[in-house]
Amino acid sequence: MSPMTLRVLIVDDEALARSRLRTLLGDCHAPAAMVGGEAATADQALALLRHERFDVALLDIHMPGADGMQLAQSLKALATPPAVVFVTAHAGHAVQAFELEAVDYLTKPVRLERLQAALLKAERLAQITRAAEPDGTDEVLVIHDRGRTERVPLSEVLYLKAELKYITVRTAARSHILDGSLSELEAKHAGLFIRIHRNALVARRALRALEKTFDAVDGEGWAVRLQGLDEALLVSRRQLPGVRDAMVEQGRR
């Protein structure tokens, strides 16, 4: 595999510690690495990771709020999580770190040769991950349910429906429950899904029919039928023009 430049996220509540890691990363050449972002808390890190892709996350453990261990656990919910390298002044968490599938565990002060060794491990993992997604079409939703983790390809999802604090992810075979934001999913995957109602997105490729309905409360309305699904989904008046356009576009393909 050809050499690559690793995009690194530094997560540490101490500015001096982040500065030292930036300097060390600038001296790394095998593999090469660039700082793609910095965060002082787990919440800041997650906000960055929801919108940008990083190959490696260098995580401090003791931070205000959620600690590095909790952050590493949260990263597993991402479709393409970064390789995790813990960078800490405390040596006593190594066993727990590797239980969280960290690629390495560095103690402060970090030496350049140890950082480069950790990045080499992360590089191998990043190359395998990128090779498995050559054109970006194999994106997945990571579903956590009763201690079990399942990766559901977006190409199999027929609709996403917000219900209370969760999202129902419907495929032709079954339903899953996802903890997430419908608006964020819409923004991230606008090319794959179209909003039909304030609480629902449907797969553009699955649009089969748009039909009139009648409800005792709302009166006459509209609903869509999806390929591979028996149930009809209500379309709001506000979203109706966009759904009609999507039906026309789908019919041209």
Q: In what order do the strands lie in the sheet with 175-178?
A: 175-178, 166-171, 157-163, 200-203, 193-197
Both tokens of 204, joined, read 């553009």
Specify the range with the lowest mean pLDDT, choosing from 76-80, 217-221, 238-242. Answer: 217-221
Under CATH, what is the fold of the domain 146-252? OB fold (Dihydrolipoamide Acetyltransferase, E2P) (2.40.50)
Q: 5-132, what's its fold?
A: Rossmann fold (3.40.50)
Rounded CA-CA distance 230/223 in Å is 12
**CA atoms within 13 Å, Cβ hemisphere of 112:** 12
* Cα four-point dihedral sign 78, 81, 87, 93: positive
Domain boundaries, the chain: 5-132, 146-252
> What is the tens place of the pLDDT at every residue in 92-133?
777 777 788 889 999 999 999 999 999 999 988 877 766 655
Q: What is the pLDDT of residues 136-155, one digit of tens each?
A: 445 788 887 777 778 888 88
Question: With bands split at pLDDT 50, 70 and 90, how would you rate the model's confidence at 244?
Answer: very high
Could you give the 3-state DSSP secondary structure of residue 245? helix
- Give this prediction's pTM: 0.54
What pLDDT digit, counting tens, does each position of 10-42 carry?
999 999 999 999 999 999 887 888 998 999 999
Q: Helix and strand tally (H, E) in the chain?
A: 7, 15
Interatomic CA distance for residues 133 and 99, integer angstroms: 26
Cβ burial 227-241 (10 Å sphere, 16+ → b, else e): eebeeebbbbeebee
Tokens in use for 82? Answer: 């970064």
